[in-house]
Amino acid sequence: MCPVLSLNNLALSRKKGVIRSTVAALALLGSGPALAQAPQSVQQSCMVCHGQTGENTIYPIVPRLNGQQVQYLAWQLQQFKKHTRADQNAQIYMWPVAQALDQQDIQALAKYYAAQSPMHSASSSRPGVSAGKQIFLQGIASQGIPACMACHAVNATGRGTFPRLAGQRYGYVVQQLKYLHDGSRANPIMQPIAAKLTIQQMQDVAAYLSGLH
Amino acid sequence: MEIKLQWKNKARWATCATLMVGAAAFSGNALALPTFARQTGWSCATCHTSYPQLTPMGRMFKLLGYTTNNVQRQQKLEAKFGKSTALLLMRLSQFSVFAQASYANVAGGQEAFNGAGVSNPPGNQNDIQFPQQVSLFYAGEITPHIGAFMHLTYSGRGGFAMDDSDFRWAHPWSFGPGQLLITGVEVNNTPTEPDIYNTVPDWYAPFSSSKYSAIRQIPTTFIEGAHGAGYPLVGVGTYEAYIFGPNKANWIYFEADGYTNADGIGAAANSGGAFGYGNDGRMQGVAPYVRLAYQRDWGNWNWEVGTYGMWSHLYDSPNTKGGPVDSFDDYDLDSQLQWLDTADNSNVTLRADWIHEDQTFGPGSAISSTTTGNLNSLNINGAYWLHDHYGVSGGYLDTWGSANADLWGTGYSANGSPDTNGEWIEASYLPWWNTRFSLRYTLYNKFRGLTNGAVGPEKASAYNTLELLTWISF
**Cβ–Cβ below 8 Å for A169 and B247:** yes
pTM of the shown model: 0.88
Residues 6+ apart with CB under 8 A from A141: none
Lowest mean pLDDT among A26-35, A201-210, B360-369: A26-35
pLDDT digits (tens, 9 = 90+) for A131-175: 999 999 999 999 999 999 999 999 999 999 999 999 999 999 999
The predicted structure's pLDDT at residue B115:
58
pLDDT, averaged across chain A:
85
Answer with the residue of higher pLDDT: A30 or B203. B203
Q: Going by DSSP bridges, is the β-strand pair A5-6/B390-401 parallel, antiparallel, or unpaired? A: unpaired
Residue of A56, A58, A171 with shortest CB distance to B178: A56
Q: Is B382 helix (H, G, I), strand (E, B) or coil?
A: strand
CA distance A97 to A48: 12
User: Which range has the worst mean pLDDT, A158-172, B100-114, B283-297?
Assistant: B100-114
CB contact under 8 A, A59 and B340: yes
**Considering Cα of A22, then A23, then A29, then A33, what sign does the dihedral take?**
positive
Specify which residues B129 forms β-bridges with.
B102
Instruction: Specify which residues B179 forms β-bridges with.
Output: B244
pLDDT class of B253 with cuts at 50, 70, 90: very high
Contact indicator for A90, B41 with CB cutoff of 8 Å: no
User: How close does chain B come to A3, measured CA to CA in Å?
Assistant: 9
Mean pLDDT lowest for which of A13-17, A127-131, B305-309, B371-375? A13-17
Question: For residue A40, what are the contacts with CB-CB under 8 A and spacing of at least 6?
Answer: A1, A3
A10 pLDDT more than 90? no
Contacts of A105 (CB under 8 A, 6+ apart): A39, A41
* CB within 8 Å: A52 and B180: yes
Bridge partners of residue B135, in order along the sequence? B98, B153
Highest mean pLDDT among A31-40, B74-83, B99-108, B388-397: B388-397
Q: How far, in Å, CA of B302 to CA of B299, rounded?
A: 8
pLDDT (0 to 100) of residue B437 = 96
Quickly list H helices, B4-129. Answer: 14-27, 34-40, 44-47, 56-63
Contact B412, B112 (CB under 8 A): yes
Q: Grade residue B455 by pLDDT with cuts at 50, 70 and 90.
A: low
pLDDT score at B216:
87
Which has more confidence, B100 or B278?
Answer: B100
Question: How far apart are alpha carbons A209 and A198 in whole angstroms?
Answer: 17
Q: How far is A31 from chain B (nearest CA, A)?
A: 11
Q: How far apart are CA B305 and CA B291, in angstroms?
A: 11
The residues pairing with B467 across neighbouring beta strands, listed in sequence order, are B104, B440
pLDDT of residue B232: 80
The reply to whether residue B177 touches residue A36, judged by beta carbons under 8 angstroms, is no
Residue B456: is its pLDDT beyond 70? no
Closest chain B C-alpha to A191 CA, distance in angstroms: 20
Answer yes or no: do A52 and B56 touch at CB < 8 A.
Answer: no
Give the pLDDT band of residue B321 (cuts 50, 70, 90): confident
Higher pLDDT, B465 or B6: B465
pLDDT value, residue A30: 39
pLDDT of A5 over the 50 cut: no
Q: What is the pLDDT of residue B401?
A: 97
B84 touches chain A (CB under 8 A): no
| Interchain pair B60, A58: CB under 8 A | yes
Residues of chain A contacting residue B242, judged by C-beta atoms under 8 Å apart: none
Higher pLDDT, B23 or B145: B145
Q: How many CB atoms lie within 10 A of CB B29?
A: 26
Mean pLDDT of B341-359: 95
Report whether pLDDT(B178) > 70.
yes
- The pLDDT of residue B107: 87
Chain B residues near residue A43 by CB distance under 8 angstroms = 172
A32: closest CA of chain B, how far (Å): 10
Q: In terms of C-beta density within 10 A (0-12 exposed, 13-18 middle, 19 or more buried), how is residue A34 classed?
A: exposed
B152-180 burial, b if ≥16 CB within 10 A, otherwise e? bbbbeebbbbbbbbbbbbbbbbbbebbbb
Contact between chains at A53 and B69 (C-beta distance less than 8 A): no
pLDDT at residue B4 greater than cutoff 80: no
Residue A4: its chain B contacts at CB < 8 A? 172-174
- The whole-number pLDDT of residue A2 equals 33
Give kind and range of the element (H or E) at residue A191. Answer: helix A190-194
- Indicate the pLDDT class of residue A59, thresholds 50, 70 and 90: very high
User: φ and ψ at B400, to 5 degrees?
Assistant: -150, 155
- Give the pLDDT confidence score for residue B261 in this predicted structure: 87
User: Above pLDDT 90, what percent of chain B?
Assistant: 58
Say whether A116 and B177 touch across the interface (CB within 8 A).
Answer: yes
Quote the mean pLDDT of chain B: 85
Between B433 and A27, name the one with better pLDDT.
B433
The reported pLDDT for the residue numbered A12 is 37
**With pLDDT > 70 as the criterion, what percentage of chain B qualifies?**
85
Q: How far apart are the first and last CA of chain A?
A: 35
- Chain-chain contact of A45 with B40 (C-beta, under 8 angstroms): yes
pLDDT of residue B311: 97
Confidence band for A26, pLDDT divided at 50, 70 and 90: very low
Residue B360: partners with Cβ closer than 8 Å, 6 or more residues away: B326, B327, B329, B371, B372
Asked if B284 contacts B315 with a C-beta cutoff of 8 angstroms, the reply is: yes
Closest listed residue to residue A57, CA positions, set B91, B177, B279: B177
- Nearest-by-CA chain A residue for B339: A59
**Cα–Cα distance measured from residue A30 to residue A130, given in angstroms and rounded to the nearest whole number:** 50
The whole-angstrom separation of Cα A4 and Cα A42 is 9
User: What was the pLDDT predicted at B267?
Assistant: 56
Q: Quote the pLDDT of residue B436.
A: 94
Q: Helix, strand, or coil here: B197?
A: coil
Q: Which of B72, B171, B174 sits opposite A52 (nearest CB)?
A: B174
- With an 8 Å Cβ cutoff, are B342 and A51 in contact? no
Number of Cβ within 10 Å of residue A124's Cβ equals 6
ipTM for the whole complex: 0.84
CA B8 to chain A, closest CA, distance in angstroms equals: 45
Distance CA B142, CA B94 (A): 9
| Cβ <8 Å between A55 and B177 | yes
Instruction: State the amino acid at position B54 in one-letter form.
Output: L
Q: Interface of chain A against chain B, CB under 8 Å? A: 1-2, 4-8, 27, 30, 36, 43-45, 47-49, 51-53, 55-61, 66, 88-89, 92-93, 95-97, 99-100, 102, 116-117, 122-123, 169, 171, 175
Per-residue model confidence as pLDDT tens digits over B202-216: 999 999 888 889 998
Distance CA A66, CA A43 (A): 15
Dihedral angle of Cα B54, B60, B63, B67, to the nearest 10 degrees: -110
For A57, the closest chain B residue by CA position comes to B247
Q: What is the pLDDT of residue B457?
A: 61
**Gap from A188 CA to chain B (nearest CA, Å):** 24
**Is B46–A60 a contact, with Cβ atoms under 8 angstroms apart?**
no
Residues 6+ apart with CB under 8 A from A187: A180
Note the pLDDT of residue A50: 96
- The predicted pLDDT at position B431 comes to 93
Which chain A residues are within 8 Å of B56, Cβ to Cβ?
58-59
Least confident range from A38-52, A138-152, B372-386: namely: A38-52
Q: What is the pLDDT of residues A74-109, one digit of tens each?
A: 999 999 999 999 999 999 999 999 999 999 999 999
Q: What is the pLDDT of residues B180-198, one digit of tens each?
A: 999 999 999 999 999 999 9
Whether the CB of B307 is below 8 Å from some CB of chain A: the reply is no
Q: Measure the CA dihedral B52/B99/A45/B42, to 10°.
A: 90
Q: Helices A20-28 and A7-15: crossing angle, nearest 10°?
A: 140
For the cut 70, the answer to whether the pLDDT of residue B382 exceeds it is yes
